[in-house]
Amino acid sequence: MNIIKNLDNELLKKLGIIIGVILGILVIFLVSALLLNSKLSYSQIEKRMISAAKNYYKDHTDELPQYDNGIVSISTDKLVEKKYLKSLAKLTKNKSDVCAGQVSVTKEEELFFYSATLSCGDKYETKKLKDIIAKDIVTSGDGLYQINNKYIFRGEKVNNYVSFAGITWRILRINQDGSIRMIETSKRQPTPWDDRYNSDKQYNIGINDYSISRIKDNLNIIYNEINNSDKAFIIKQDLCIGKRSRLETINDDSVECSNILPNQNVGLIQINEFALASLSDKCQNPLDPECTNYNYLASIGSIWTLTADKDTSYKAYRFSGNATVTNAINHYQARMVIHINPFVNYVSGDGTINNPYKFN
């Protein structure tokens, strides 16, 4: 009887040891899992940086930009020092990572755009959309061309699609300041460029002064349909509203930009941009029929441009396949052209229609 009792005690001890070992392993596993889950991916760290910066500037509003297009930056070191962010070493999953970063804040009207930049040596570097796009420069065929200090998409089959604010856009160019100029592809209700009474013609045929035009008012209405969180990505642009002669062959912006309407949220495409997008050597004047060749804009739709006719007071340029000059009172689509902040981060996409660029 004692022998059986001793055997039972021995079995119970061994069973207890086994259970203890199993429980110990489970505890170690759970602790390890919790520690691992407390570490963040690089994109999560960027979001944490932005959240920390927003909290910092909420408490230090006097340090925010005071004027439109103003920009300030704060380093992750300062955010850590001021107790708004854990040290990056405690946030990264890889112990060997040595990271540093900053958050930039840009002001547009009453909206502030926050952009994080994170650098972890050869392990990770935040990608800006403008840099991703500008990686592939071409000197012939369809693609992105460097012309002076701008990058311009030219050709018939170009991968320049962007998904933003629930709308599909096409990138016209990257401006000298790094901002991204885009035109929407959404179809809009046709509208007159202008329908006012014209003293020269003595009836309502329109006045081709963009600064007082109906289409300018209409564009602002369309722009206001964009929600504020998306508007924070958009920066103001100086609109080139110089009038153009029908025989003009200069397409470098100098004609259109001879008259500037500053600090506008939204505009239209310029007629010279239609010519610049064509790869045809015979496209010298936007009105040349050859400008429709090797030109992705030739299939974008029947749309008004920003550019008015210099030879009359009542006509403006539009294109639908080919470009033409027509009475301002006629009805064509007004497609928004906006400029996106140069600091936006690349998220995904390759610019194709099925996989457009996305940013945050």
Same domain, 190 and 287: yes
DSSP-derived 3-state class of residue 61: helix
Is the pLDDT at 35 greater than 50, yes or no? Answer: no
Q: Give 182's pLDDT tier (boundaries 50, 70, 90).
A: very high
**Residue 291 tokens, joined:** 């400008």
Q: Are 342 and 179 in contact (CB under 8 A)?
A: yes
Domain annotation covers residue 50? yes
Rounded to whole angstroms, the Cα distance separating 142 from 166 reads 27
Rounded to whole angstroms, the Cα distance separating 304 from 288 reads 17
Same domain, 73 and 49: yes
Rounded to whole angstroms, the Cα distance separating 102 from 79 reads 9
Q: Give 2's pLDDT tier (boundaries 50, 70, 90).
A: low
Q: In whole numbers, what is the pLDDT of the chain averaged over residues?
A: 92
**Residue 143 tokens, joined:** 């693609």
Q: What is the DSSP string of 21-60?
A: HHHHHHHHHHHHHHHHHTSB-HHHHHHHHHHHHHHHHHH-
Give residue 33's pLDDT: 40
Give residue 108's pLDDT: 87
Give residue 31's pLDDT: 39
Rounded to whole angstroms, the Cα distance separating 246 from 257 reads 16
Q: Could you say which of 126, 146, 168 is where a domain stops?
A: 126
Residue 323 phi, psi (nearest 5):
-95, 155
Rounded to whole angstroms, the Cα distance separating 345 from 358 reads 9
Between 102 and 17, the higher pLDDT residue = 102
Same domain, 98 and 140: no
Alpha-helical segments (H) within the chain: 2-37, 42-59, 76-81, 88-91, 129-133, 214-223, 228-231, 271-276
Domain annotation covers residue 86? yes
Q: Are 328 and 201 in contact (CB under 8 A)?
A: no
Domain annotation covers residue 244? yes
Domain annotation covers residue 17? no
Domain annotation covers residue 22? no
Domain count, the chain: 2
Give residue 44's pLDDT: 94
Q: Give 20's pLDDT tier (boundaries 50, 70, 90).
A: low
Same domain, 180 and 197: yes
pLDDT, one tens digit per residue, over 249-285 is 999 999 999 999 999 999 999 999 999 999 999 999 9
**Residue 313 tokens, joined:** 């007071």
Same domain, 321 and 195: yes
Same domain, 85 and 135: no
Give residue 12's pLDDT: 60
Among candidate residues 57, 93, 106, 94, the one with its CA nearest the CA of residue 78: 57
Residue 79 phi, psi (nearest 5):
-65, -35
Same domain, 145 and 257: yes
Between 97 and 308, the higher pLDDT residue = 308
Same domain, 169 and 261: yes
Give residue 37's pLDDT: 44
Same domain, 111 and 194: no
Is the pLDDT at 125 greater than 90, yes or no? Answer: yes
pLDDT, one tens digit per residue, over 295-330 is 999 999 999 999 999 999 999 999 999 999 999 999
Same domain, 203 and 287: yes
CB-CB neighbours of 25 under 10 Å: 10
Rounded to whole angstroms, the Cα distance separating 84 from 82 reads 6
Rounded to whole angstroms, the Cα distance separating 299 from 286 reads 15
Q: What does pTM read for this prediction?
A: 0.87
Q: Give 95's pLDDT tier (boundaries 50, 70, 90).
A: confident
Same domain, 84 and 208: no
Q: Are 347 and 358 in contact (CB under 8 A)?
A: yes
What residue numbers bound the domain in which 245 lies? Answer: 131-340
Q: Give 45's pLDDT tier (boundaries 50, 70, 90).
A: very high
Give residue 69's pLDDT: 82
DSSP-derived 3-state class of residue 110: coil
Q: Which residues, in sequence order, are CB contacts of 170 under 8 Å at separation 6+?
A: 153, 160, 161, 162, 182, 183, 185, 296, 300
Query: Strands 150-154 and 161-164, how do they pair?
Result: unpaired
Give residue 170's pLDDT: 98
The total number of residues shown for the chain amounts to 360
Q: Are 236 and 253 in contact (CB under 8 A)?
A: no
Same domain, 210 and 242: yes
Q: Give 36's pLDDT tier (boundaries 50, 70, 90).
A: very low
Rounded to whole angstroms, the Cα distance separating 55 from 238 reads 33
